[in-house]
Amino acid sequence: MNNVSCIIEYQVIKRVLISPLIFYWYDFKNFIITIYLFSILPIVFFNIKYFEMHVESYPIAFLLMDLFFPVSLSF
């Protein structure tokens, strides 16, 4: 009887604790990739656009980098 309850506890722990952790870790990695892409793409876009058209507006890219990049580091 003790062995059966131990197996049941293990199944409960596995389903309740471990499975959500694996799911959330997978979701968390996708979230990091998404944030990273959204932080890199505006920088690249504004670098190309403003550096070619308006050299004096080039610091906008650095302003965006300050706005977007810490978001990807903080999560």
Tokens encoding 14: 């596995």
Contact 43, 64 (CB under 8 A): yes
42-71 pLDDT, tens digit per residue, is 666 665 555 555 545 555 555 555 555 554
- Tell me the average pLDDT across 6-28: 59
- Residue 33 in this model has a pLDDT that exceeds 60: yes
What's the confidence (pLDDT) of residue 31?
66
Name residues whose C-beta falls within 8 Å of residue 51's C-beta, 6 or more positions apart in sequence: 58, 61
Closest residue by Cα to residue 20 from 9, 32, 28:
28
Spans of all domains in the chain: 2-74
